């Protein structure tokens, strides 16, 4: 098992798949179906591959595993250096799970340029797995930036009516952060002479330099998460993105920022992280309270869920920068959990929008009458979003509140108000969507195929909610390492 | 085997979820009722075992959350306190399910109703059996969820949907404090397991927390947070507004959730953590203060309301205040005793009200009823029993628990004790006034119904009557028969093994002193007042209403709590959120950030090339710049 470069396989298999898709003869009669089927099978195979990864992962090993390391460019010290720990593993699994779901959910909905659409998702998968498994700053940067291109295309080509503005905004924000990070990476490289993470961790960087480097990385990660006040691209991007785009955006792309903080900012710039922690706590608390209030005012269902994502990610940044065991474990869990819950919520929103032909919440109502099965699923997802115990949302937020409490009581206290506010906007949304007296004719409930997808999310949210240790045990040692360092 | 009473409702819930589309609804409903009766039966065996052998059981299921030193498992812990609660939850659930077969007969969503009821019972049982605080919180939120679903059961009514939302959110305010309390307990005692916390209890001393710039003793602040949590669930003053609105749910729900079980979870929590509260003078004073304020508030509001269910709801609120008072006086066993008797007579009243409402085709305004005693003799009879028990008339169940609670104010040393005593005596008087005012308007009074409705009204079916009769018997006898378990020294050991601080051997009952009879006298007095004024001197009441009309309005409008919350808090929050979104997000951040940048980038890129304006191009362009930067840097430095 160990001889197979499984990480490279995971990264490049979808890439090859996307090439095949682009090469298929477009004049073929069954062209569309073939494209979708290939896309689906490739992504499912990749998911199975990642299960093998999960199976052969050694929980008791705190170092990076499945390492692949060779020189990419001679004399430059740039390495093709891959390896994962428990944190990366969790995110890789999340990615490989969500991509096939994205393809299934757009099965009948996308017809324009279908091959590019499916190929975009496979390429996104390739880049995302690359991000989560690269241990060399340059490779990381390439994957990190690369993952934006397909998403940019997905919003720009298959998006809604205002897609141009949305993709512009998305692009401007992210490229701004990325360029700053690139500067940071280069500075770091020239200062220490290496771009390998494992070597960099042992380098002592002077405090002033740490501050600057931290800020340059922060620019990129904070925009990705997104933290207040860099969040305004997200609601627009979500509103315009097709359902599958929203799923992958909320599910994985938003986690790149949090992952970056965990993988680079904390271990490489420990003093700077400590220095900036209060600043980040304030931004996160603003995100939680302010954004929750803004979410309350939304009438567009996708915008509401997008704002709720920002608020939930506020918890993640609090957890990461509380830099204690509970906070870190909580924030990783919260990211995975949010990946599942927000993906499920966007899926439900997309499902509703397809049927009701409107995004305005006030036009919904009374869907219990027509779609009882959908309403049950939607209820469980909403419960996840309000961190109801027994769902994954609770575990993350509880651990984060606990971690924050150790730092400062007030942080935890204010953040806890976010728990109330989340109940306000999410359940109010639920009430406006499912309760009420409207009786829409001809709206069909979930079919078997939808039900399968919805059920996967439901089971994951609930099972990981009542037995979270299955997940935590994989990254327990990795979070311990972060504290030791 | 003793796991069965807890997990049978869950099984029956899953049966409904999986099979309700395939199997005949009726079979499922009968099956579910059978299951819950079975579970009641087993819970009787359990409590018998616990009482006879003074045993405790602990079942470990599996791990829940392990992080660092934090350990919380899924466990079922059974001791005396727990099994009392299990029995109560199961009995009331069983009777309510039986009653619902008749009450919800014509509702097309009856399967969904039973599904929720079973889920509720499960969560409530998990709550009471929990071995650690986090699992208790799981049940705590779970019952809140079921309450939300059941209040909003008739979701097509806007009022029901709003009431459901209100209930959940108001409860969430309490829950937030509860969860902070749990975190504080963990940080103070390094554990959230009840056994560990209680055995390490003395270790907290000297730990102080800084709360909003004040230093607090760890214990005081933990208790404060737990009380705030309990206040939400038990609808105490300030967080009570959801309970009257919750009456939008079907009547059986009100009987089960909003009278007998869920709302008492707050009291249960305080009793479970009695070691904490008993050691904090601050907490004890705070509890009796809150409890007495709630009791008097709810009682005064109840005498002015006209909705039959709302009156009973306010009465529940008021009685929960009594339970808080008992807990505040450190008589936790007495609080549980009142919880038990209250569960019987209050669910009796709600189910009786349900029969009236059903017989009158969903009429709830008592001013529009009247003379029903001829039409509904049995309902009339049990409602009287319930009201007598509620008022605390001697030898009915409520008497045994309530009289002791009121009189304990006399012997307590707490700062507010005397004040609380006088308040509670007044509340006793008000209790019998509002109970018998209700009886008068519904069953006597002048006939204000349409003739047709009056003629059609008839005593409902056996499904209604059996639970009513059983609960009626419990309301009469439960106090007398069960009082020993709660207040007799003989059984004190049971409470000690349940880790509940208890005071037994009340000298109040042994010492014949006139002052002990004051509550009973007041209860009688209230009934006589109602009887006299309503039957003979109606004009006096009208006179008072006019004379003190502003005071009457104050009471009628529930002390303006709802108006205050709606007009000041909710409205402003919504206004604030609109403003934050439109003024800051859109106007400020976007104008300064991306939109400004977008226009300048547009200009720059136009400058470079006016051949293409496609947005993909821009991205690729910049990406290339990025790569070029990287490569040129690398080359330059080598």
Residue A424, chain B, CB below 8 Å: the answer is yes
Query: What are the pLDDT digits (tens) for B123-181?
Result: 999 999 998 999 999 999 999 999 999 999 998 888 999 999 999 999 999 999 999 99
**pLDDT mean over B213-231:** 87
Quote the minimal CA–CA distance from A178 to chain B in Å.
Answer: 9
Window 378-417 of A, Cβ < 8 Å to B: 383, 388-390, 395, 398-399, 401-402, 405-406, 409-410, 412-413, 416-417
ipTM of predicted assembly, 2 dp: 0.92
d(CA B73, CA B65): 7
User: pLDDT tens for residues B539-577?
Assistant: 777 787 788 888 888 888 888 888 888 888 888 888 888
Distance of CA B280 to the CA centre of its chain: 24
Contact A73, A136 (CB under 8 A): no
* Residue B633 buriedness (CB in 10 A; 0-12 / 13-18 / 19+): middle
Vertex B153 angle, CA B249 and B354, to 5°: 35
Contact A173 B148 (CB under 8 A): no
Residue B611's pLDDT is 46
Q: Which of A249-253, B214-218, B584-588 has maximum average pLDDT? A: A249-253
- B616/A413 touch (CB, cutoff 8 Å), yes or no: no
Which residue(s) pair with A360 in the sheet?
Answer: A300
For A456-470, what is the mean pLDDT?
Answer: 92
What would the mean pLDDT of B50-75 be, rounded to a whole number?
A: 86
pLDDT for B471 equals: 92
Predicted confidence at residue A1, as pLDDT, reads: 44
| pLDDT band, very low/low/confident/very high, at B505 (cuts 50, 70, 90) | low
**Mean pLDDT in residue range B453-461:** 76
Nearest by CB to residue A169, choosing from B573, B581, B594, is B594
* A368 contacts B64? CB cut-off 8 A: no
Contact A241, A154 (CB under 8 A): yes
Does B593 reach chain A within 8 Å, measured CB to CB?
Answer: yes
CB A82 within 8 A of CB A138: no
Split at pLDDT 50, 70, 90, the class of B595 is low
pLDDT at A216 over 60: yes
Count chain A–chain B contacts defined by CB atoms under 8 A. 185
Helical pair A163-192 and B594-608, crossing angle rounded to 10 deg: 80
- Across all residues in chain A, what is the average pLDDT? 87
Q: With CB atoms and an 8 Å threshold, state whether B74 touches A466.
A: yes
Contact B134 A164 (CB under 8 A): no
Distance from CA of A24 to the nearest CA of B (A): 24
The pLDDT of B418-423, averaged and rounded, is 89
B508-514 contacts at long range (C-beta below 8 A, 24 or more positions apart)? B508/B404, B508/B407, B508/B408, B508/B411, B509/B404
Task: Give the pLDDT of residue B212.
Answer: 66
User: Bridge partners of B58?
Assistant: B77
Q: Is residue A1 part of a domain?
A: no
Q: What DSSP element (H or E) covers B216? A: strand B214-217
For residue B67, give how far its alpha carbon lies from the nearest alpha carbon of chain A (Å): 6
Calculate ∠ Cα A224-A229-A231, nearest 5°. Answer: 40
Instruction: Check pLDDT > 70 for residue B613.
Output: no
Mean per-residue pLDDT, B27-32: 91
Residue of B207, B215, B577, B587 to mutate, testing the A interface (most A Cβ within 10 Å of its Cβ): B577
Its pTM stands at 0.91
Please give the pLDDT value at position B596. 67
Residue A84 within any structural domain of the chain:
yes
Residue of chain A nearest B622, judged by CA positions: A175
> A313 lies in a domain?
yes
Q: Per residue in A329-381, pLDDT tens?
A: 999 999 999 999 999 999 999 988 888 888 888 888 888 888 888 999 999 99
pLDDT score of B570: 83
Range of the domain at A164: 6-484
Q: Where are the domains of chain B?
A: 280-555
Question: Testing the interface with A: which of B242, B619, B627 to mutate, by most A Cβ within 10 A?
Answer: B619
Give the mean pLDDT of A37-45: 90
CA–CA dist B20, B479 (Å, integer): 40
Measured distance CA(A91)–CA(A148) in Å, rounded: 17
- CA A93 vs. chain centroid, Å, equals 11
- Mean pLDDT value of segment B608-626: 59
* Smallest Cα distance from B177 to chain A, Å: 8
More confident residue, A49 or B610: A49
Instruction: Calculate what percentage of chain B has a pLDDT beyond 70.
Output: 91
Res. B65: pLDDT tops 60: yes
For residues A340 and A461, the answer to whether their CB atoms sit within 8 Å is: yes
Which range is least confidently modeled, A156-165, A345-354, B315-324, B497-506?
Answer: B497-506
Between CA A324 and CA B13 the distance in angstroms is 40
Contact (Cβ atoms closer than 8 angstroms) between residue B438 and residue B384? no
A291 within a domain of the structure (yes/no): yes
Q: B168 at the A interface (CB within 8 A)?
A: yes
Pairwise pLDDT comparison (B450 vs B339), residue with the higher score: B339
Identify the pLDDT of residue B290: 92
- Chain A residue nearest residue B591, CA to CA: A232
| Cβ-Cβ contacts under 8 Å, B638 against chain A | 75-76
pLDDT score at A461: 93
Burial A76-90 (b: 16+ CB within 10 A, else e): ebbbbbbbbbbbbbb
pLDDT value of residue B325: 92
Q: Buried b / exposed e across B32-53, counting CB within 10 Å, b at 16+?
A: bbebbbbbbebbbebbebbeee
Least confident of A316-320, B191-195, B439-443, B509-513: B509-513
Which of the pair, B121 or B631, is modelled with greater confidence?
B121
A221 contact B CB<8A: no
Do the beta carbons of residue B277 and residue B287 sit within 8 Å?
A: yes
What mean pLDDT is reported for chain B? 85
Interval B181-203 mean pLDDT: 88
pLDDT score recorded for residue B344: 93
Q: How many domains does chain A have?
A: 1
- Helices A137-146 and A114-133 pack at an angle, to 10 degrees, of 150
Q: Which residues contact B635 (CB under 8 A, 6 or more apart)?
A: none
Residue B633 has pLDDT above 80, yes or no: no
Using CB atoms, pick whichever of B62, B68, B212 lies closest to residue A326. B68
Q: What is the mean pLDDT of residues A131-158?
A: 88
> Which residues 6+ apart lie within 8 Å of B217 measured at CB?
B207, B208, B280, B282
Q: Which residue of B has its CA nearest to A153?
A: B616
d(CA B307, CA B367): 8
**176-195 in B: which are within 8 Å (CB) of A?**
176, 179-180, 183-184, 186-187
**At B382, is the pLDDT very low, low, confident or very high (cuts 50, 70, 90)?**
very high
B299-356: per-residue pLDDT in tens? 999 988 889 999 999 999 999 999 999 998 888 888 999 999 999 999 999 999 999 8
Q: What is the mean pLDDT of residues A243-261?
A: 91
Please judge whether A468 and B64 are an interchain contact, meaning their C-beta atoms are less than 8 angstroms apart: yes
């Amino acid at each position: 098992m160990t001889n197979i470069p499984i990480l490279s396989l995971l990264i490049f298999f979808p890439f090859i798949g996307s090439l095949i898709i682009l090469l298929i003869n477009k004049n073929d009669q069954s062209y569309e179906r073939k494209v979708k089927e290939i896309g689906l099978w490739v992504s499912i195979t990749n998911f199975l591959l990642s299960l093998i990864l999960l199976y052969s992962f050694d929980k008791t090993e705190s170092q990076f595993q499945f390492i692949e390391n060779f020189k990419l460019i001679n004399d430059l010290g740039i390495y093709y250096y891959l390896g994962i720990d428990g944190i990366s593993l969790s995110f890789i699994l999340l990615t490989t799970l969500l991509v096939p779901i994205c393809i299934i959910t757009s099965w009948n909905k996308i017809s324009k340029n279908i091959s590019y659409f499916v190929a975009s998702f496979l390429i996104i998968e390739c880049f995302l797995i690359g991000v989560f498994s690269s241990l060399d700053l340059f490779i990381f940067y390439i994957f990190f930036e690369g993952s934006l291109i397909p998403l940019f295309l997905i919003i720009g080509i298959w998006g809604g009516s205002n897609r141009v503005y949305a993709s512009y905004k998305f692009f401007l924000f992210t490229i701004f952060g990325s360029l700053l990070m690139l500067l940071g990476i280069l500075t770091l490289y020239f200062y220490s002479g290496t771009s390998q993470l494992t070597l960099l961790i042992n380098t002592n960087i002077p405090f002033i330099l740490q501050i600057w480097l931290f800020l340059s990385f922060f620019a990129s990660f904070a925009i990705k998460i997104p933290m207040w006040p860099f969040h305004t691209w997200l609601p627009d991007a979500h509103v315009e993105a097709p359902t599958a785009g929203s799923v992958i955006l909320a599910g994985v792309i938003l986690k790149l920022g949090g992952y970056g903080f965990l993988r680079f900012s904390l271990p490489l710039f420990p003093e700077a992280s400590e220095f900036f922690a209060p600043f980040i706590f304030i931004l996160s608390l603003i995100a939680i309270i302010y954004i929750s209030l803004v979410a309350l005012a939304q009438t567009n269902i996708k915008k509401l869920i997008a704002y709720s994502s920002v608020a939930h990610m506020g918890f993640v940044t609090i957890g990461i920068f509380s830099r204690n065991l509970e906070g870190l474990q909580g924030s990783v869990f919260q990211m995975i959990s949010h990946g599942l819950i927000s993906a499920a919520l966007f899926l439900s929103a997309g499902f509703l929008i397809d049927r009701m032909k409107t995004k305005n919440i006030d036009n919904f109502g009374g869907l219990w009458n027509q779609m009882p099965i959908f309403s049950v699923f939607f209820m469980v997802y909403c419960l996840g979003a309000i961190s109801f115990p027994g769902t994954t949302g609770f575990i993350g937020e509880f651990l984060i509140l606990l971690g924050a409490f150790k730092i400062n009581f007030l942080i935890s206290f204010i953040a806890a108000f976010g728990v109330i506010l989340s109940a306000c906007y999410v359940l109010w949304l639920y009430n406006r969507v499912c309760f009420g007296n409207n009786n829409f004719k001809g709206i069909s409930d979930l079919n078997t195929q939808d039900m399968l997808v919805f059920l996967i999310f439901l089971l994951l949210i609930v099972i990981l909610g009542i037995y979270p240790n299955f997940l935590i045990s994989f990254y327990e040692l990795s979070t311990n390492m972060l504290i030791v360092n | 085997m003793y796991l069965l009473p807890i997990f049978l409702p869950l099984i029956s819930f899953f049966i409904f979820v999986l099979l309700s589309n395939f199997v005949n609804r009726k079979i499922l409903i009968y099956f579910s009722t059978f299951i819950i009766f079975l579970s009641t039966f087993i819970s009787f065996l359990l409590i018998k075992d616990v009482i006879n052998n003074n045993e405790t059981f602990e079942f470990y299921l599996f791990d829940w959350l392990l992080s660092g030193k934090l350990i919380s498992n899924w466990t079922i812990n059974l001791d005396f306190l727990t099994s009392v609660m299990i029995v109560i939850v199961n009995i009331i659930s069983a009777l309510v399910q039986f009653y619902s077969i008749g009450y919800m007969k014509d509702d097309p969503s009856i399967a969904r109703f039973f599904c929720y009821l079973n889920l509720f019972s499960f969560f409530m049982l998990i709550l009471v059996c929990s071995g650690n605080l986090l699992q208790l919180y799981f049940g705590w939120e779970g019952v809140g969820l079921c309450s939300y679903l059941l209040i909003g059961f008739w979701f097509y009514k806007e009022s029901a949907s709003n009431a459901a939302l209100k209930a959940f959110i108001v409860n969430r305010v309490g829950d937030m404090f509860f969860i902070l309390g749990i975190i504080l307990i963990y940080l103070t005692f390094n554990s959230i397991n009840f056994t560990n916390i209680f055995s390490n209890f003395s270790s907290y001393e000297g730990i102080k927390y800084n709360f909003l710039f004040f230093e607090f003793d760890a214990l005081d602040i933990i208790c404060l947070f737990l009380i705030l949590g309990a206040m939400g669930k038990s609808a105490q003053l300030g967080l009570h507004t959801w309970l009257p609105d919750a009456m939008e749910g079907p009547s059986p729900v009100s009987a089960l959730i909003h009278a007998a079980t869920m709302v008492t979870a707050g009291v249960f929590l305080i009793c479970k953590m009695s070691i904490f509260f008993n050691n904090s003078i601050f907490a004890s004073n705070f509890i009796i203060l809150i409890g007495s304020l709630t009791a008097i508030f709810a009682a005064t509001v109840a005498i002015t309301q006209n909705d039959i269910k709302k009156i009973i709801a306010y009465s529940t609120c008021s009685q929960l205040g009594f339970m808080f008072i008992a807990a505040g006086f450190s008589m936790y066993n007495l609080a549980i005793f009142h919880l038990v008797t209250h569960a019987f007579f209050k669910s009796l009243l709600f189910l009786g009200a349900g029969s009236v409402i059903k017989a009158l085709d969903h009429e709830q305004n008592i001013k529009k009823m009247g003379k029903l005693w001829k039409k509904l003799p049995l309902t009339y009879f049990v409602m009287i029993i319930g009201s007598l028990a509620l008022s605390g008339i001697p030898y009915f169940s409520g008497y045994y628990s309530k009289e002791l609670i009121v009189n304990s104010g006399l012997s307590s040393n707490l700062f507010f004790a005397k004040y609380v005593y006088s308040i509670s005596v007044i509340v006793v008087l008000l209790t019998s006034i509002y109970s018998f005012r209700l009886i008068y308007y519904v069953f006597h009074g002048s006939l204000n119904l349409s003739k047709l409705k009056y003629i059609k009204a008839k005593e409902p079916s056996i499904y209604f009557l059996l639970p009513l009769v059983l609960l009626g018997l419990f309301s009469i006898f439960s106090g007398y028969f069960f009082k020993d378990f709660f207040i007799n020294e003989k059984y004190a050991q049971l409470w000690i093994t349940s880790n509940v601080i208890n005071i037994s051997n009340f000298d109040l009952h042994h010492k014949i002193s006139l002052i002990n009879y004051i509550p009973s006298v007041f209860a009688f007095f209230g009934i006589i007042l109602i009887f006299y004024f309503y039957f003979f001197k109606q004009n006096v009441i009208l006179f008072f209403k006019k004379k003190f009309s502003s005071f009457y309005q104050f009471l009628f409008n529930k002390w303006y709590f709802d108006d205050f919350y709606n007009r000041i808090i909710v409205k402003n929050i919504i206004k604030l959120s609109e403003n934050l979104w439109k003024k800051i997000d859109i106007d400020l951040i976007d104008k300064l950030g991306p939109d400004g940048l977008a226009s300048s980038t547009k200009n720059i890129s136009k400058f470079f090339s006016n051949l293409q304006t496609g947005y993909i191009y821009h991205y690729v362009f910049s990406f290339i710049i990025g790569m070029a930067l990287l490569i040129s840097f690398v080359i330059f430095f080598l």
